[in-house]
């Protein structure tokens, strides 16, 4: 493998921009986070175009042996052009990729500085703004293997062992995912997380309109999404298409279906209620407009939920398929607007020094 890579296990947070209401501290990532706020809490906070990342290395002096990232590093103090993949405990178990630094500089010794804070932060790598990506919660689905031959108990997983032998056969798959990712990035698209929350609220309201009980819990939403994906994939397979359902992890559509020279970019929606309306994001609308005539909308509505032991399962449903999906054939109704304030036309009043 020619690309330098470091896999870093950290605690799970939503934004990693310091303690915020409802996002106060990293969850998981080691015993330290149980009573303290780990320094990874600021891993995706922009400081003058730079991001400063932290992972607890496990060594007493917090050092990182750079020769285990690249055997040719020797005794260098820093190593550039490294991809740092941050992963954290998944909401349903396992561990998932939450974000990454591309073309990062990784330091052998722990770095300590205030970096714009009124307290000292510890960090071990840095990257420029354009090389950093933080996934919205709904896109944190790429699993990182655990156990023998994969990530172990240490928070850092190196590509090479102590003898300089390559040891991560699965690393290239994740690097391909990182390199091919074309989805929302919370470092630049702050509305992406808000759209996910709006989608959840829309589903609850739509179910209530049909007299359905739907709390919008993550387990319920996941069961509905997975059921709708299975039915949609079966629909296209029966019509002679080859389907790739993995694209939903990195692309603004859910299924890539091909048959000969014909390609369908399929957006899949699952709903408990009727087929009256579905929630679509700005990225999904842009995808349809950029690929006219090649996009489909597959809606599975009337899905029922049932509890099997401790699990929630989705069953049934009726399908509605728009192929091609022409936005003009329905009504695209905006639920809200993002209003950007005009530059240079506003009066700023500082109320902090007034009684």
pLDDT of residue 188: 86
**Contact predicate 41/188, CB 8 Å:** no
Average pLDDT taken over every residue of the chain: 87
> Among the CATH numbers 3.40.1350, 3.40.50, 2.40.128, 1.10.3470, which is that of 191-329?
3.40.1350
Closest C-alpha among 339, 308, 279, 345 to residue 219: 308
pLDDT confidence of residue 210: 67
Residue 151 has pLDDT above 80, yes or no: yes
How far is the CA of 92 from the CAs of 4, 88, 217, 223, in angstroms?
30, 12, 12, 12
pLDDT on residue 318: 92
pLDDT given at position 1? 59
CATH 3.40.1350 domain locations along the chain: 191-329
| Per-residue pLDDT tens digits for 118-138 | 678 899 999 999 999 999 988
pLDDT at 144: 93
- Rounded distance, CA 29 to CA 6, Å? 16
Q: What is the mean pLDDT of residues 133-147?
A: 90
Residue 202 reports pLDDT greater than 90:
no
Nearest to 248, CA basis, from 277, 275, 284: 284
pLDDT value at residue 263: 96
Residue 345, pLDDT score: 60
What's the burial of 329, exposed, middle or buried (CB within 10 Å: 0-12/13-18/19+)? exposed
Question: pLDDT, tens digit, for every residue of 242-300?
Answer: 999 989 888 889 999 999 999 999 999 998 877 678 888 888 999 999 999 999 999 99
Q: Would you mind telling me the total number of residues written for the chain in this entry? A: 355
Mean pLDDT over 83-110 rounds to 93
pLDDT (0 to 100) of residue 324: 94
Cβ burial of 9 (10 Å; 0-12, 13-18, 19+) is buried
pLDDT confidence of residue 102: 96
316-338 per-position pLDDT tens digit: 999 999 999 999 888 888 877 77
pLDDT band (50, 70, 90) for residue 233: very high
Q: Residues 15-64: pLDDT tens digits?
A: 999 888 888 888 887 777 767 788 999 999 999 999 999 999 878 888 99
- Around Cβ 3, how many Cβ atoms within 10 Å? 15
User: For residue 225, what are its two tokens?
Assistant: 């999404």
pTM for this prediction: 0.76
The percent of residues in the chain predicted with pLDDT above 90, rounded, is 48
Among residues 265, 275, 283, the alpha carbon closest in space to that of 196 is found at: 283
What's the pLDDT band for 353 if we cut at 50, 70, 90? low
- pLDDT surpasses 60 at 215: no
Which uninterrupted H or E stretch holds 198?
helix 191-209
Quickly state the pLDDT bin for 342 (edges 50, 70, 90).
confident
């Amino acid at each position: 493998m020619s690309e330098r890579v470091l896999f870093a296990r950290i605690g799970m947070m939503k934004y990693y921009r310091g303690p915020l209401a409802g996002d106060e501290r990293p969850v998981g990532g080691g015993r330290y986070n149980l009573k303290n706020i780990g320094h990874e809490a600021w891993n995706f906070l922009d400081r003058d175009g730079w991001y400063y990342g932290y992972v607890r290395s496990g060594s007493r002096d917090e050092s990182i042996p750079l020769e285990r990232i690249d055997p040719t590093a020797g005794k260098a103090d820093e190593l550039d052009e490294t991809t740092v993949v941050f992963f954290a405990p998944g909401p349903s178990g396992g561990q998932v990729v939450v974000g990454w630094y591309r073309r990062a500089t990784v330091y052998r010794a722990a770095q300590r500085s205030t970096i714009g804070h009124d307290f000292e932060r510890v960090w071990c790598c840095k990257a420029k703004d354009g090389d950093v990506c933080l996934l919205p919660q709904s896109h944190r689905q790429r699993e990182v293997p655990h156990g023998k031959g994969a990530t172990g108990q240490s928070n850092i997983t190196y590509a090479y062992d102590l003898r300089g032998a390559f040891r991560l056969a699965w690393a290239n798959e994740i690097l391909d995912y990182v390199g091919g990712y074309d989805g929302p990035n919370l470092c630049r698209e702050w509305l992406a997380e808000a759209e996910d929350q709006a989608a959840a609220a829309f589903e609850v309201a739509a179910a209530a309109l049909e007299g359905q009980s739907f709390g919008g819990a993550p387990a319920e939403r996941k069961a509905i999404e997975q059921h709708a994906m299975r039915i949609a994939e079966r629909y296209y397979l029966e019509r002679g298409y080859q389907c790739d359902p993995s694209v939903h992890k990195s692309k603004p559509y859910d299924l890539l279906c091909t048959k000969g020279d014909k390609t369908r970019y399929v957006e899949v929606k699952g709903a408990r209620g009727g087929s009256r309306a579905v929630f679509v994001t700005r990225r999904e609308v842009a995808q349809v407009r950029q690929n006219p005539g090649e996009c489909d909308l597959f809606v599975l509505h009337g899905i029922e939920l049932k509890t099997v032991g401790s699990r929630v399962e989705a069953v049934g449903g009726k399908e509605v398929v728009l192929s091609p999906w022409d936005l003009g054939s329905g009504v695209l109704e905006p639920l809200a607007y993002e209003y950007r304030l005009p530059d240079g036309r506003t009066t700023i009043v500082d109320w902090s020094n007034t009684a």
